[in-house]
Amino acid sequence: MIQIILSALALLTGAAALPTPAPALLVIAHRGASGERPEHTRAAYDLAIDQGADFIEPDLVMSRDGVLIVRHENEIGGTTDVAAHPEFADRHTTRTIDGTPVTGWFSEDFTLAELQTLRARERLPAQRPANVAFDGDEPILTFQQVIDIARTGSARTGRVIGVVPELKHPSHFAAAGLPMEDTFVDVLTANDLTGADAPVLIQCFEVGPLQRLAARIDAPRLQLMSVHGGPVDRPDLTYAAMATPAGLKTVATYAGWIGVEAAMIAPDLERPQTALIAHAHAADLKVAAWTFRAEPVFLPPGAADLTAWLRAFRDFGLDAAFSDFPATAVAVAR
């Protein structure tokens, strides 16, 4: 197993392949084993590690006092019990996030100490009612705590557990006087995670942060893309244009990976895949896809279940899968 993970890290960093074959598919536990525990909790991350995931993924937002915390969005009403705290009722407000009005409670209006009085709750209770039983059990984690969870998990399992942090809305936080990139680099530096061989893969939907990070540190980077829209910091650019052969060559100047919505590779399993994986590999980019979930509402046409969906994408030549159900993904990958 050690050799398998070292091979996985060689794939991540572009290092020479080791004699033991790498997994057919790297498994990124999307917010932990979030199909079985509330996302971004210690329980979700520990379960993902114990199920064999190669990497765990935290989404990063910021507190008012400049600490990187782990939540799906900076709007925290849907993933915490903040609404049950009368002392925070006056912080309910509407903000424009990446051009869209959002109403709720926002991480940047709370200090870390205040945020740590809140408890996590299931974000998709209708699809995952069993996870609701864990509501209220755990506090919000910091980025540092997730790094520590990965390291503890590595020691516990004898495998190298990588971390795949996503910088959420860095332009929004910069405009609010919270320089996410600087804080992020500080945390990576303090944990010796800035080198090209570090077990970390930095992701963002924006372009500028990844380009600037490429000039500051050598840690691997991944450009996120979705079927619709484009990077908020580049209104002249669409993800569709970035996914062309010419666009991918540009991405390859500052990142070694792309992380795309699965539908960009195959909207369903009843028609041939697109040429995106082939074009990305031709540009010397690895490809991850998101998000592989087990619930029927998330399965694409032609996929009987999550295993069938993952197997199809593995056979397409996908390099890594973001999954809320890492145990299933690991079974396919190995």
Report residue 46 CA to chain centroid gap: 16
Residue spans per domain, the chain: 2-74+139-333
Do 167 and 201 contact (CB within 8 A), yes or no?
A: no
Tell me which of 40, 72, 279, 281 is the catalytic residue.
72
Read off the pTM: 0.94
Active-site residue 228, yes or no?
no
Q: 136-162: per-residue pLDDT in tens? A: 999 999 999 999 999 999 999 999 999
pLDDT for position 22: 53
Told to judge if 281 belongs to the known catalytic residues of this protein, a careful annotator would answer no
So what's the pLDDT on residue 204?
98
* Beta strand extents in the chain (DSSP E only): 26-29, 55-56, 59-62, 68-70, 93-97, 100-104, 162-163, 166-167, 202-204, 221-225, 257-261, 286-292, 320-323
* Residue appearing with tokens 């509501």: 135
Catalytic residue chosen out of the listed positions 30, 169, 172, 279: 30
What does the pLDDT profile of the chain (334 residues) look like in tens digits?
334 444 445 445 444 333 344 568 999 999 999 999 999 999 999 999 999 999 999 999 999 999 999 999 999 999 999 999 999 999 999 999 999 999 999 999 999 999 999 999 999 999 999 999 999 999 999 999 999 999 999 999 999 999 999 999 999 999 999 999 999 999 999 999 999 999 999 999 999 999 999 999 999 999 999 999 999 999 999 999 999 999 999 999 999 999 999 999 999 999 999 999 999 999 999 999 999 999 999 999 999 999 999 999 999 999 999 999 999 999 999 8
Is the backbone of residue 152 left (phi > 0), alpha (psi -120 to 50) or beta?
Answer: alpha
Q: Does domain 2-74+139-333 have CATH number 3.40.50.2300?
A: no
